[in-house]
């Protein structure tokens, strides 16, 4: 007879253990997330703040790393609130919490930002191929393909058919110039 109430209490305790972490998570995060760009910034740098999950079209992002609170607004009918902030000079490297106020509610610890003194890269990348710019690089993409001619443009170049076409046109032009030059010479 005693096993019924014990089983009921055990089931209640198990249910409380299962629901307790969920309730704490819902209160802590509340569906509002804040992110910053760049992910790691140096003291004194300007950063962009993006907040998702807020109700309304305005809000404020706060952090001990900010010089002043970041005013957030929705732009272009987007679902995120956007704003900018400047980091304090003299900050130590590390992670700082970002809190958000929007829709009449405070959302502590909605995100983090990382502060780090930037080091100059030891390797400076240099181009390894010509830059595809100007009319020559864009002409193949702007003009529609002629009937029966396949578009073979790729990031590596225009391909064999266009190379052969160009060489053929250059040969015709060279023959035409040679022919005209030979007819104009006084005999």
The residue extents of the domains of the chain are 31-115, 149-187
- In the predicted structure, residue 38 carries a pLDDT above the cut 70: yes
Q: What pLDDT is recorded for position 78?
A: 72
Q: What is the pTM of this model?
A: 0.48
Which CATH code is given to the segment(s) 31-115? Answer: 2.60.40.10
pLDDT at residue 29 is higher than 50:
no
Q: Give the integer Cα–Cα distance in Å for 89 and 175.
A: 69
Residue 69 DSSP one-character state: P
Tell me the pairing of strands 105-115 and 40-41. parallel
**For the chain, how many helices (H) and strands (E)?**
3, 8
State the chain's mean pLDDT as an integer. Answer: 74
- Tokens for 99, please give them: 């809190």
């Amino acid at each position: 007879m005693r096993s019924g109430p014990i089983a009921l209490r055990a089931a209640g305790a198990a249910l409380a253990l299962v629901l307790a972490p969920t309730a704490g998570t819902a209160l802590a995060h509340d569906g509002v997330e804040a992110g910053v760009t760049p992910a790691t910034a140096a003291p004194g740098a300007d950063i962009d703040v993006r907040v998702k999950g807020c109700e309304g079209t305005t809000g404020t992002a706060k952090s001990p790393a900010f010089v002043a609170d970041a005013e957030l607004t929705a732009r272009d009918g987007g679902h995120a609130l956007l704003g900018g902030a400047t980091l304090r000079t003299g900050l130590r490297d590390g992670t700082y919490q970002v809190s958000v106020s929007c829709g009449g509610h405070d959302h502590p610890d909605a995100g983090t930002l990382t502060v780090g003194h930037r080091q100059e890269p030891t390797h400076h990348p240099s181009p390894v191929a010509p830059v595809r710019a100007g009319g020559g690089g864009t002409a193949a993409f702007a003009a529609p393909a002629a009937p029966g001619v396949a578009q073979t443009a790729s990031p590596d170049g225009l391909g064999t058919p266009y190379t052969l076409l160009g060489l053929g046109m250059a040969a015709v032009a060279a023959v035409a110039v040679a022919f005209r030059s030979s007819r104009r010479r006084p005999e």
